[in-house]
Protein backbone atom coordinates (compact mmCIF):
# COMPACT_ATOMS: atom_id res chain seq x y z
CA UNK A 1 0.00 0.00 0.00
CA UNK A 2 1.04 3.60 -0.63
CA UNK A 3 0.39 5.72 2.46
CA UNK A 4 -1.56 8.94 1.97
CA UNK A 5 1.35 11.14 3.06
CA UNK A 6 3.74 9.34 0.67
CA UNK A 7 1.26 9.64 -2.19
CA UNK A 8 0.90 13.40 -1.71
CA UNK A 9 4.66 13.80 -1.35
CA UNK A 10 5.14 12.07 -4.71
CA UNK A 11 3.25 14.83 -6.56
CA UNK A 12 5.71 16.38 -9.03
CA UNK A 13 5.60 19.90 -10.47
CA UNK A 14 6.10 20.63 -14.17
CA UNK A 15 6.02 24.42 -14.68
CA UNK A 16 2.35 25.35 -14.14
CA UNK A 17 0.98 21.82 -13.65
CA UNK A 18 1.51 18.78 -11.43
CA UNK A 19 1.45 15.03 -11.94
CA UNK A 20 0.94 12.13 -9.57
CA UNK A 21 0.35 8.41 -9.93
CA UNK A 22 -2.44 6.83 -7.89
CA UNK A 23 -1.60 3.21 -7.17
CA UNK A 24 -4.26 0.49 -7.37
CA UNK A 25 -4.87 0.54 -3.63
CA UNK A 26 -6.38 4.04 -4.04
CA UNK A 27 -8.92 3.11 -6.72
CA UNK A 28 -12.69 2.73 -6.64
CA UNK A 29 -13.37 0.32 -9.45
CA UNK A 30 -11.57 1.74 -12.47
CA UNK A 31 -11.12 5.27 -11.17
CA UNK A 32 -9.56 7.33 -8.42
CA UNK A 33 -12.33 7.94 -5.89
CA UNK A 34 -13.65 11.49 -5.64
CA UNK A 35 -12.12 12.43 -2.30
CA UNK A 36 -8.61 11.69 -3.54
CA UNK A 37 -9.18 13.58 -6.78
CA UNK A 38 -10.37 16.57 -4.75
CA UNK A 39 -7.34 16.29 -2.47
CA UNK A 40 -5.02 16.32 -5.49
CA UNK A 41 -6.69 19.52 -6.73
CA UNK A 42 -6.36 21.24 -3.34
CA UNK A 43 -2.73 20.21 -3.00
CA UNK A 44 -1.85 21.50 -6.46
CA UNK A 45 -3.43 24.91 -5.79
CA UNK A 46 -1.67 25.15 -2.42
CA UNK A 47 1.72 24.34 -3.89
CA UNK A 48 1.36 26.58 -6.93
CA UNK A 49 0.15 29.70 -5.15
CA UNK A 50 1.75 29.41 -1.73
CA UNK A 51 0.22 31.39 1.12
CA UNK A 52 -3.55 31.54 0.66
CA UNK A 53 -6.30 32.53 3.11
CA UNK A 54 -8.25 29.66 4.69
CA UNK A 55 -10.48 27.64 2.35
CA UNK A 56 -14.11 28.75 2.77
CA UNK A 57 -15.92 26.73 0.10
CA UNK A 58 -15.24 24.27 -2.70
CA UNK A 59 -17.13 22.68 -5.57
CA UNK A 60 -15.98 19.50 -7.29
CA UNK A 61 -17.42 18.14 -10.53
CA UNK A 62 -16.47 14.54 -11.22
CA UNK A 63 -16.68 14.60 -15.00
CA UNK A 64 -15.19 11.20 -15.78
CA UNK A 65 -12.92 8.40 -14.56
CA UNK A 66 -9.16 8.64 -14.18
CA UNK A 67 -6.54 6.20 -12.95
CA UNK A 68 -2.79 5.78 -13.00
CA UNK A 69 -0.88 8.98 -13.66
CA UNK A 70 -2.99 12.14 -13.67
CA UNK A 71 -2.18 15.78 -14.37
CA UNK A 72 -3.52 18.70 -12.32
CA UNK A 73 -3.45 22.24 -13.67
CA UNK A 74 -4.26 24.96 -11.09
CA UNK A 75 -5.13 28.58 -11.83
CA UNK A 76 -6.23 31.75 -10.04
CA UNK A 77 -9.58 33.06 -11.29
CA UNK A 78 -9.63 36.25 -9.26
CA UNK A 79 -7.75 37.75 -6.33
CA UNK A 80 -9.49 40.39 -4.22
CA UNK A 81 -8.71 42.18 -0.98
CA UNK A 82 -9.79 39.30 1.25
CA UNK A 83 -10.73 36.44 -1.09
CA UNK A 84 -9.06 34.35 -3.76
CA UNK A 85 -10.99 32.25 -6.26
CA UNK A 86 -8.92 29.42 -7.71
CA UNK A 87 -9.57 26.44 -9.98
CA UNK A 88 -7.93 23.13 -10.76
CA UNK A 89 -8.53 20.64 -13.57
CA UNK A 90 -7.48 17.02 -13.06
CA UNK A 91 -7.04 15.03 -16.26
CA UNK A 92 -6.14 11.45 -17.15
CA UNK A 93 -5.62 9.55 -20.38
CA UNK A 94 -9.30 9.97 -21.29
CA UNK A 95 -9.30 13.75 -20.73
CA UNK A 96 -10.82 15.91 -18.02
CA UNK A 97 -11.86 13.89 -14.96
CA UNK A 98 -12.36 16.41 -12.12
CA UNK A 99 -12.89 20.16 -12.09
CA UNK A 100 -12.52 22.07 -8.82
CA UNK A 101 -13.56 25.64 -8.00
CA UNK A 102 -12.18 26.87 -4.69
CA UNK A 103 -12.87 30.00 -2.64
CA UNK A 104 -10.33 31.14 -0.07
CA UNK A 105 -11.16 33.98 2.32
CA UNK A 106 -9.36 35.85 5.08
CA UNK A 107 -11.14 36.36 8.39
CA UNK A 108 -13.00 39.69 8.74
CA UNK A 109 -14.18 41.48 11.86
CA UNK A 110 -17.92 41.05 12.36
CA UNK A 111 -20.43 41.68 15.16
CA UNK A 112 -22.50 38.66 14.01
CA UNK A 113 -22.18 35.10 15.26
CA UNK A 114 -24.61 32.21 14.74
CA UNK A 115 -24.27 28.43 15.04
CA UNK A 116 -27.47 26.51 14.31
CA UNK A 117 -26.19 22.96 13.81
CA UNK A 118 -27.74 20.56 16.33
CA UNK A 119 -25.29 19.19 18.92
CA UNK A 120 -23.92 15.74 18.12
CA UNK A 121 -24.31 13.11 20.83
CA UNK A 122 -22.32 9.95 20.16
CA UNK A 123 -19.78 7.92 22.14
CA UNK A 124 -16.11 7.54 21.34
CA UNK A 125 -15.16 5.32 18.38
CA UNK A 126 -14.15 2.24 20.38
CA UNK A 127 -17.82 1.79 21.35
CA UNK A 128 -18.95 0.98 17.79
CA UNK A 129 -18.55 -1.73 15.13
CA UNK A 130 -16.17 -1.46 12.20
CA UNK A 131 -17.94 -0.06 9.14
CA UNK A 132 -15.73 -0.74 6.11
CA UNK A 133 -15.58 -4.34 4.94
CA UNK A 134 -13.43 -5.86 2.22
CA UNK A 135 -15.39 -5.38 -1.00
CA UNK A 136 -13.83 -6.19 -4.39
CA UNK A 137 -13.13 -2.98 -6.30
CA UNK A 138 -13.34 -0.61 -3.32
CA UNK A 139 -9.59 -0.71 -2.80
CA UNK A 140 -9.26 2.74 -1.22
CA UNK A 141 -11.24 1.90 1.94
CA UNK A 142 -8.28 -0.10 3.29
CA UNK A 143 -6.61 3.25 4.03
CA UNK A 144 -9.23 4.28 6.63
CA UNK A 145 -10.23 3.19 10.12
CA UNK A 146 -14.02 3.33 10.43
CA UNK A 147 -16.80 2.86 12.98
CA UNK A 148 -20.56 3.06 12.47
CA UNK A 149 -21.76 5.32 15.30
CA UNK A 150 -25.34 5.82 14.11
CA UNK A 151 -27.52 5.04 11.12
CA UNK A 152 -27.37 1.91 9.02
CA UNK A 153 -25.16 -0.39 6.99
CA UNK A 154 -25.41 -0.55 3.18
CA UNK A 155 -28.30 -2.59 1.76
CA UNK A 156 -30.03 -2.92 5.13
CA UNK A 157 -33.09 -1.19 3.57
CA UNK A 158 -33.55 1.08 6.56
CA UNK A 159 -33.36 4.86 6.95
CA UNK A 160 -30.71 6.09 4.45
CA UNK A 161 -28.30 7.77 6.84
CA UNK A 162 -25.00 6.88 8.48
CA UNK A 163 -22.75 8.60 11.01
CA UNK A 164 -19.18 7.34 10.94
CA UNK A 165 -16.03 7.82 12.93
CA UNK A 166 -13.22 7.95 10.35
CA UNK A 167 -9.47 8.48 10.34
CA UNK A 168 -6.54 7.87 8.04
CA UNK A 169 -4.58 4.75 8.94
CA UNK A 170 -1.50 6.65 7.86
CA UNK A 171 -0.18 8.09 11.14
CA UNK A 172 1.78 10.70 9.15
CA UNK A 173 -1.33 12.11 7.46
CA UNK A 174 -1.56 15.77 8.54
CA UNK A 175 -4.60 17.52 9.96
CA UNK A 176 -5.24 19.59 6.83
CA UNK A 177 -7.96 20.39 4.31
CA UNK A 178 -6.24 18.10 1.82
CA UNK A 179 -6.39 15.08 4.11
CA UNK A 180 -9.90 15.94 5.35
CA UNK A 181 -11.32 16.16 1.82
CA UNK A 182 -9.78 12.78 1.01
CA UNK A 183 -11.38 11.30 4.14
CA UNK A 184 -14.81 13.00 3.97
CA UNK A 185 -15.67 11.33 0.66
CA UNK A 186 -14.66 7.85 1.83
CA UNK A 187 -18.17 6.78 3.00
CA UNK A 188 -20.51 5.44 0.32
CA UNK A 189 -23.46 7.67 -0.59
CA UNK A 190 -26.21 7.10 1.97
CA UNK A 191 -28.70 5.99 -0.68
CA UNK A 192 -26.87 2.65 -0.76
CA UNK A 193 -28.65 1.80 2.51
CA UNK A 194 -31.97 1.30 0.67
CA UNK A 195 -30.49 -0.81 -2.15
CA UNK A 196 -31.92 -4.33 -2.35
CA UNK A 197 -28.68 -5.63 -3.87
CA UNK A 198 -25.35 -4.14 -4.83
CA UNK A 199 -25.35 -1.84 -7.87
CA UNK A 200 -23.01 0.86 -9.20
CA UNK A 201 -23.14 4.27 -7.58
CA UNK A 202 -21.12 7.36 -8.43
CA UNK A 203 -20.85 10.90 -7.04
CA UNK A 204 -21.21 13.52 -9.78
CA UNK A 205 -20.89 16.81 -7.88
CA UNK A 206 -19.76 17.73 -4.38
CA UNK A 207 -20.07 21.21 -2.84
CA UNK A 208 -18.86 22.13 0.63
CA UNK A 209 -18.64 25.06 3.03
CA UNK A 210 -15.84 25.11 5.60
CA UNK A 211 -17.04 26.37 8.99
CA UNK A 212 -13.71 27.17 10.62
CA UNK A 213 -10.27 28.49 9.78
CA UNK A 214 -8.70 26.23 12.43
CA UNK A 215 -8.83 22.54 11.62
CA UNK A 216 -8.08 20.47 14.69
CA UNK A 217 -8.94 17.03 16.03
CA UNK A 218 -7.53 14.35 18.33
CA UNK A 219 -5.92 11.06 17.30
CA UNK A 220 -6.80 11.72 13.68
CA UNK A 221 -10.51 10.95 14.20
CA UNK A 222 -13.30 12.83 12.40
CA UNK A 223 -17.06 12.24 12.36
CA UNK A 224 -18.92 12.20 9.03
CA UNK A 225 -22.70 12.05 8.73
CA UNK A 226 -24.27 11.52 5.33
CA UNK A 227 -28.03 11.42 4.68
CA UNK A 228 -29.90 10.75 1.45
CA UNK A 229 -32.74 13.26 1.15
CA UNK A 230 -34.13 12.16 -2.22
CA UNK A 231 -33.60 9.16 -4.49
CA UNK A 232 -35.46 9.29 -7.79
CA UNK A 233 -34.97 8.76 -11.53
CA UNK A 234 -31.48 7.35 -11.02
CA UNK A 235 -30.14 10.26 -8.95
CA UNK A 236 -29.82 11.00 -5.25
CA UNK A 237 -29.31 14.26 -3.37
CA UNK A 238 -27.56 13.94 -0.04
CA UNK A 239 -26.50 16.21 2.82
CA UNK A 240 -23.28 15.84 4.80
CA UNK A 241 -21.78 17.24 8.01
CA UNK A 242 -18.25 16.74 9.29
CA UNK A 243 -17.30 17.22 12.97
CA UNK A 244 -13.96 16.92 14.71
CA UNK A 245 -13.39 14.57 17.64
CA UNK A 246 -14.63 17.23 20.08
CA UNK A 247 -17.99 17.22 18.19
CA UNK A 248 -17.37 20.71 16.78
CA UNK A 249 -18.75 21.11 13.22
CA UNK A 250 -16.04 21.64 10.63
CA UNK A 251 -17.82 21.32 7.29
CA UNK A 252 -21.26 21.06 5.71
CA UNK A 253 -21.66 19.66 2.22
CA UNK A 254 -24.00 18.36 -0.45
CA UNK A 255 -23.55 15.71 -3.11
CA UNK A 256 -25.48 14.75 -6.22
CA UNK A 257 -25.08 11.05 -6.88
CA UNK A 258 -25.88 8.83 -9.85
CA UNK A 259 -27.41 5.50 -8.78
CA UNK A 260 -27.88 2.48 -11.04
CA UNK A 261 -30.23 0.41 -8.91
Q: What is the pLDDT of residue 256?
A: 98
Query: What backbone torsions phi and psi does residue 194 show, to the nearest 5 degrees?
Result: -90, 0
CA dist 129 and 224 (Å) reads 15
Long-range pairs, 174-179, Cβ under 8 A, ≥24: 174/5, 175/215, 175/216, 175/217, 175/220, 176/215, 177/42, 177/55, 177/210, 177/215, 178/8, 178/39, 178/42, 178/43, 178/46, 179/4, 179/39
Using one digit for the tens of pLDDT, what is the confidence trace for 83-137? 999 999 999 999 999 999 999 999 998 999 898 999 999 999 999 999 998 777 7
CA dist 5 and 94 (Å) reads 27
The answer as to whether 180 is a domain residue is yes
Band (1; pLDDT cuts 50, 70, 90): confident
The answer as to whether 209 is a domain residue is yes
The answer as to whether 204 is a domain residue is yes
| C-alpha closest to that of 56 among 217, 234, 177, 185 | 177
Using one digit for the tens of pLDDT, what is the confidence trace for 134-162? 777 789 999 999 999 999 999 999 999 99
The answer as to whether 133 is a domain residue is yes
The answer as to whether 125 is a domain residue is yes
Q: What is the pLDDT of residue 138?
A: 85
Q: What is the pLDDT of residue 4?
A: 97
The answer as to whether 116 is a domain residue is no
Q: What is the CATH number for 160?
A: 2.40.160.210
CA dist 259 and 160 (Å) reads 14
The answer as to whether 111 is a domain residue is no
Distances (CA, A) of 137 to 18, 49, 200, 224: 27, 35, 11, 22
Mean pLDDT of the chain: 95
Q: What is the pLDDT of residue 133?
A: 85
Percent of the residues in the chain that have a pLDDT greater than 90, as a whole number: 89
In this structure, of 13-17, 43-47, 135-139, 209-213, the range with the lowest mean pLDDT score is 135-139
Structural domains in the chain (count): 1
Count Cβ neighbours within 10 Å for each residue of 130-142 and write b for 16 or more, e otherwise.
ebbeeeeebbbbe
In this structure, of 66-70, 104-108, 135-139, 246-250, the range with the lowest mean pLDDT score is 135-139
Q: What is the pLDDT of residue 50?
A: 86
The answer as to whether 23 is a domain residue is yes
Provide the residue range defining the domain that includes 220: 4-106+121-259
Residue 42 has pLDDT above 90, yes or no: yes
Q: What is the pLDDT of residue 213?
A: 92
Pairing of strands 249-259, 17-22: unpaired
Amino acid sequence: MTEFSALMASMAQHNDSFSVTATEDWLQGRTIYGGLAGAFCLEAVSRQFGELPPLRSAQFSFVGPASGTVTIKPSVLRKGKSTVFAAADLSGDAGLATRATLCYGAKRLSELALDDIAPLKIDDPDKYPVFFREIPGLNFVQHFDSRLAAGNFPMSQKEPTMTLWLRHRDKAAPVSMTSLVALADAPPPASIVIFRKFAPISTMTWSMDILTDRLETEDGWWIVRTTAETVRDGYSSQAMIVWNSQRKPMMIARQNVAVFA
